[in-house]
Amino acid sequence: MTETAPGARLRRYSAEGLRLAAVTAAYYGSAKLGLEQQLVRGQVTPFWPPTGIALVALMLWGLRMWPAIALGAFVVNVTLGPSVLPVLAIAASNTIAPVFAFLLLRRVGFRIALDRLQDALALVFLGALAGMLVSATIGTGVLVASGALTAHDFWPTWSVWWTGDAMGVLFITPLLLAARTARLPRGSPVLRWAEALVLLGGTAAVTLVATRTSINLLFLVVPFLAWAAFRFQLIGAAPCALIASLIAIYAGAVGSGPFSGHDLLAKMVILQAFNGTVALTALLLSAVITERNQTLRALQGACDDLTEALTQLVPDQPPDVRTERRGPVAGDAGS
């Protein structure tokens, strides 16, 4: 027993170290992707996937994941500047924000299955919109205090920062949570696969059209999200929502379609309104449909249990007994 205990501890510490390294690597890699659409100072972007990854890591493995998040945030920001102290402050804000969001969600009893309406609402309003106020406010304030930005640039930069962090939670977190429990369906009909491909392609095509014309057609994305939620729940709605959001973010970055002719703050208002609508539609409908399906399964199970109980209470009787009992009744009716 004493010989195996050190080995078990070593395996546990090794697994924990690998998990921390994986979270740091995922944070860094997703940050580099997010920075491809930076709008302010080469480091403020309207889509910041690391916040979603960090929040999922905290949900799955607890607060002990914060050092991996902090290390990833520091490595990403140290190359962007402006100097060491502001970088440390920004890395701290990028760590505190998902931790704060996680604590808020834990406080209200959030379930990572996202199978209840209250969980979807909590993720949107507490995890994304409220939790990410921390990083946007501290990060933008640090850039202004260090002289990297002027005071006039505070609110436009804050809006981009907040939008980016919130979008990371709204789209990356549900996608990862859904993928965690997804299983490749075996024996699914070809039409089912075709339907999924049509949903993904249709969402992309409609969003591309809506973001390339000055006419406000962004609402055309909603029917595809509703379709995906009704037919596939979160595992179908989350990818469609992410596709629509990425296309809209790119359009906002280049100023095309409904984003043309607006200043940075106005673009972020339009983008946040669209992405918030997309996320709410996907998450809320998926949660409602999942709750309905669970209720139907529970009712079906209760009916099956009741049928089985009644069968045991009134067992089948031999044919001769049933015939013997029916005889007098038939005779009385004949007379």
pLDDT at 190: 85
For residue 43, what pLDDT is reported?
67
Please indicate whether residue 15 or residue 81 has the higher confidence score (pLDDT): 15
The Cα–Cα gap between 167 and 48 comes to: 7
Greatest mean pLDDT range, 10-19, 98-107, 276-285: 98-107
Mean pLDDT of 318-323: 50
Three-state SS string over 191-258 comes to: HHHHHHHHHHHHHHHHHHHHCCCCCCCHHHHHHHHHHHHHHHCHHHHHHHHHHHHHHHHHHHHHCCHH
Do residues 283 and 123 lie in contact, with contact meaning Cβ atoms separated by under 8 Å?
Answer: yes
Residue 41, pLDDT score: 62
**What's the pLDDT score for residue 333?**
43
Predicted confidence at residue 42, as pLDDT, reads 63
At 1, the pLDDT band (50, 70, 90 cuts) reads very low
pLDDT for position 18: 93
Using an 8 Å Cβ cutoff, are 246 and 279 in contact? Answer: no
pLDDT digits (tens, 9 = 90+) for 30-62: 999 888 877 766 667 888 999 999 999 999 999
- What pLDDT is stored for residue 255 in this prediction? 86
Buried b or exposed e, range 85-114, using 16+ CB within 10 angstroms = ebbbbbbbbbbbbbbbbbebbeeeebebeb
pLDDT band at 322 (very low <50, low <70, confident <90, very high): very low
Instruction: Answer whether the bond into residue 82 is a cis peptide, omega within 30°.
Output: yes
Q: Which of 23-37, 120-134, 179-193, 230-244 has the lowest mean pLDDT?
A: 179-193
- 44 has which bridge partners? 40
The DSSP letter of residue 31 is H
How many CB atoms are closer than 10 A to CB 166? 31
For residues 80 and 86, what is the distance between their CA atoms, to the nearest angstrom?
Answer: 10
Of 233, 264, 274, 5, which is closest to residue 120 (Cα–Cα)? 233
Q: What pLDDT shows up at residue 5?
A: 74
Task: Kindly state the tokens that stand for 109.
Answer: 């009893």
Q: Average the pLDDT over 71-83 and give the result.
A: 86
The arithmetic mean of pLDDT across residues 156-183, rounded, is 89
Cα gap 94→160, rounded to integer Å: 14
DSSP state for residue 170 in the 8-state scheme: I
Give residue-wise pLDDT tens across range 290-317: 888 888 988 998 898 888 888 888 765 5
Residue with tokens 């760590």: 95
For the purposes of burial, counting CB atoms within 10 Å of the CB of 70, is it exposed (0-12), middle (13-18) or buried (19 or more)? Answer: buried
pTM for this model (two decimals): 0.83
Mean pLDDT of 118-125: 92
Are 164 and 93 a contacting pair, CB within 8 Å? Answer: no
Give how far the C-alpha of residue 62 lies from the chain's centroid of Cα atoms, to the nearest Å: 18
How much is the pLDDT for 206? 94
- At 191 the pLDDT is 87
Tens digits of per-residue pLDDT, 90-121? Answer: 999 999 999 999 999 999 999 998 888 899 99
